[in-house]
A and B are shown apart, each in its own frame.
Chain A
Amino acid sequence: MNSVARRLEHSPLHQLALARFREFTREKEAIFWTFVFPILMAVGLGIAFRNKGPDKVYIGLVDSPQATPLATALAAEGDVVVRRVPAAEANAALRRGDVALVILPAGGKAGGVAYRYDPTRPESRVAQMAANEALSRASGRPPAGPARVEKVTQRGSRYIDFLIPGLLGMNLLGTGLWGIGFALVRMRTGKLLKRFLATPMRKSEFLLSFILARLAFLAVEVTVLLLFARFAFDVVVNGSIVALFAVAVLGALTFGGLGLLVASRARTQEGVMGLMNVVSLPMWILSGVFFSADRFPAVIQPLIRALPLTAVVDALRGIMIDGASLAALALPLGIALAWCLASFTAALAMFRWR
């Protein structure tokens, strides 16, 4: 055995962190909730809210001798589907929603058409505009409106781009609370904390080992989710990867501190589970994990902004979507840091070892 290995074997911090790491990796449920569950969430929500292509416009064309050239002109417009309908059935097709607009070719040399539609239906107005454009072009007149239209669907503006940083933040919260809080309370109820206390083990090293093991898993859980999002949904990190990991570390420490705090007095596993729900449920809803927190009333916005999960998710989105620098995220990072320091200080002051 070389000297490094020997030193590690006798280092309590190393052995404690190793024990945490082993216990975690040998717990199938923990692996599922930490690594698999966020991916399932991303898959489910990513599919439900995926961006579809532009909708087709359905136009009914009443049969008549002039109908054929009109049909050709309309079909030249990209998103238009033309349905030829007998005059008697035109109104029924409109009513059923089979078509959004009915075009009645007018008789006579002048050509010209009449439109029939329901103005309260948005798709009818879209269909009318599409028909106007097609018919103008066919008649050789320049279409009214802008000279050029740019159609854009940018990466970063899709729902999945919004969702992934939210899930990342939520996962940091969950693993911090469970990985640290639940494990500590289990050790307390099993009198293992007391047993450790009967040895020369240093309390500081014991608590530090939880943080170290947590950070080791953090690297894995963030990487797994980011890689999955990249290859399954083409979600990219617009900002710096280093900055993203720095925010993730701060988030993990903050939520680890909260985990330590909820576990600092609890004597039973039921007790700590209740506290964890009290901490995490409001933040899942309020902190903008699944939809923007801006939707909540202005009155409670300051409260929402002050929540640690809001701060961490905002900072993650800032980096992933807007490519923001850490300096630009000073406010949310400051809020997270304040939570981190406050929860560790409070937890250590009131921690119950027995």
Chain B
Amino acid sequence: MDKKVIEIFGLTKKYGSFTAVDNLNLTIGKGEIFGLLGPNGAGKSTAILMLMGLTEPNSGTVRVCDIDPSRNPVEVKKKVGYLPEDVGFYDNLSGMENIIYTARLNSIPIGEAEQRAIKLLGRVGLSNELKKKAGKYSRGMRQRLGLADVLIKNPEIIILDEPTMGIDPTGVKEFLELIVRLSREEGITVLFSSHHLHQVQKVCDRVGIFVNGKLLAEGDIHSLAKQLFKTSAYTIEVGVSPEYFGKGSTKNKSIKANQLKDKLVSLKGVVTVNVKNNLFLVECSTDISSELARTIVNSGADLNYLNKKEYGLDDIYYRYFEGGNAYE
């Protein structure tokens, strides 16, 4: 983690008046799995293209393994494997021939390339499809072949642009597990772009949220939640005995519920209390679950449910898009 393999400072890319990537700053450490999360058209792919030297930035600097990709793209490409979005293969060649070709472009002698290809294709679960023409591969198989293609040059970094698009859920799960395993076993740094938050949440050490060309926040999921929900870092769901809510809204019941609600609001650290689905949702700045429980029990109600809720990427993601400009 101490060694930085990708460093980006003030990176900007404009297409005419449209700014695709706006002053991006980002560093990624060795062996990390970094998730670049953002909606479609946020500029994720453009940022990645600049990392690979496939397009030139308007301003800002990029260092990949201490090399400038716009000056010296070939050196960068020796160390970085890039799986483009919707990768294509030569349909008239078999899967194996396709990645052997890649290997030979990396100056790996044929014999070694063949051995490596067989090993890697086994690893991504394509052992039975070695000789099959790449044109007959399914979407998921193509994506796995793409991963093998990226790995055959023994890269230090792999960049995956929307790698799970179009694969079925079980396929996605296997694919992501494979990536994590590879990264952990061989110490490969992974930059992974996606608009699927669950996938990112599952595999990434750190996440950057990328909207309209700007990196709005970065960090692990916990610290992201803290950055975002400064005032109310915790939400505690509390369920009390059904007489407080019950069916039909008799006056008595709602008065009781309101009294309890007022009591809860008056507690120290509580920001708001909402009632939803027969549960009190208590948003608070510190963890006061025990105090909360005591208060409820003391007030004579039966406490039957208490859940401390931590923010997932889901909440973080939606919060950003809801909040829109407020967080920029």
Note whether A and B form a binding pair: no
Residues of B within 8 A of A (CB): none
